[in-house]
Amino acid sequence: MTLDQLRPRVKSLLDPWVRAADALGLSPNGVSTIAFLLAVAAGGAFAYAGPAFADAPLFYAVGATCVALNGWLDVVDGELARAQDVASEAGDMLDHVLDRYADLVIIAGFAAGIGRYDIGLAAVTGVLMTSYLGTQAQAVGLDRVYAGYLGRADRLALSGVVGYVAAVFPGAIYGLTVVGWLLVVFAVVGHLTALQRFSGAWKALS
């Protein structure tokens, strides 16, 4: 089970955020945009924190906080859309596009910071294929797939935790920092999740 499946259980925690966003006059698209900008800030902080740039590990904690806020607001925007009765396919599309770009900038920031673009490329392709298979299932008439070994909520949670760990332990373990090992996990488990989603959809269509 992935953390994406826990979204319905946190609704009571979301209500104050939804009311605050509504009181500030924010639209769901506005919240989605703010969430994306936080992801960009996270990517920048992760790159700056790494040894390939400024080598300032404490910035990993800044990036981790931005990732946590990005993930939370990514849930708030949907609840706000329902509360304002403005949910639409256009808003859903914008949300997904911004989520994919957010994934890209966060992983790119991690990879740039440690100067390992090879692992970063493997990680980002795994992440993108996971997301693609989730929505492609819906495109061919099935339900949108969130299940699998590693969903987006799981990736954000791991990114946040690893960011905080890297802030206090920037050293290497068997040749890679904790950030490097995180990218390895995203690469391997990301592609396994994509294949898992493909397998499930294939069986449902066959």
Query: Tokens 């993930």 belong to which residue?
Result: 71
- CATH code of 31's domain: 1.20.120.1760
Domain range for 49 = 3-205
What pLDDT shows up at residue 156? 96
Res. 42: pLDDT tops 80: yes
53-102 tens-digit pLDDT:
999 999 999 999 999 999 999 999 999 999 999 999 999 999 999 999 99
Res. 125: pLDDT tops 50: yes
pLDDT band at 1 (very low <50, low <70, confident <90, very high): very low
Res. 2: pLDDT tops 70: no
d(CA 205, CA 44): 42
Q: How many domains does the chain have?
A: 1
The three-class DSSP label of residue 34 is helix
Residue-averaged pLDDT of the chain: 93
Res. 195: pLDDT tops 90: yes
What pLDDT shows up at residue 145? 82
Res. 108: pLDDT tops 90: yes
E strands, 57-188, where? Answer: 172-173, 176-177
Res. 43: pLDDT tops 70: yes
Q: Are 21 and 86 in contact (CB under 8 A)?
A: no
6-31 tens-digit pLDDT:
556 666 788 899 999 999 999 999 99
Q: Are 14 and 81 in contact (CB under 8 A)?
A: no
What pLDDT shows up at residue 67? 98
